[in-house]
Structure 1
Amino acid sequence: MNPLLTLLLTFALLLLGLMTVLLVVFLRRGRAPAREGDDAMLLQRQFDALRDQTGRGLAEMSSRLDQRLGDLDRRMTDTVTGIGARLDSANTTVQNVQAALGELSQATRQVYEVGRDVRSLQDI
């Protein structure tokens, strides 16, 4: 798994855990009925702040991840282009060697023919 994605998920889980702990703490506290409205508003504001902070953190992580993926894509494209060029060069070399072997085979055949002609002349 990508380390950046792992960090992003860990950050999100930590914030979710913090929000859960805050909710449990405020729900377990026995407040006077007159203050329950104030506590609920405070809790709502804290949740809103945590949600905004989490959203900003996720957006920043997403931006970094997009940038790194773009960099990786460019590097992979460059690597594939380089490999393609090397394969083209190797293909050209193989074709040249095949052509040279064909010429060598033809020359060998001609030398054989000349040798056979010389032997037939010696027999005369």
Structure 2
Amino acid sequence: MHDLPGYDYHLDIPGTTIFDGKQAMKGYALNKMCYDFNKAVNREAFKADPEAWMEKYGLNEEQKQAIRNSDILGMIAAGGNIYYLAKLAGIFKLSVQDVGGLQTGRTTEEFKEFLKSQA
């Protein structure tokens, strides 16, 4: 880490949201809600009334709309951490490979083939 004033230590990766301290603060409520999906009872309660759950955790409108749209990339842009979002993605019936495809601009099958080619 450089300690030069104004030094930007992030890589510029087009289309990639870097999860850093700023994103962590932005997504705190969303990630806290997703953490609670580690319990099946909470996942079921969310499915029964997603709006109430989003309100309970104080999600902002950007986060709520991304959830309403089942938009995992939108949730990442809204501060979501993929490790916490994995539980929410599961509620939406999305696998890790589905999300990987979304993140890389590939279909799920293309992403799986890409992974195999890297082995």
Which bin holds the TM-score, normalised by the shorter protein? under 0.3
Please, what TM-score do these two structures have when normalized by structure 1?
Answer: 0.23
Quick one: higher RCO (CA 8 Å, sep 6+), 1 or 2? 1
Please, what TM-score do these two structures have when normalized by structure 2?
Answer: 0.23
Bigger radius of gyration among the two? 1
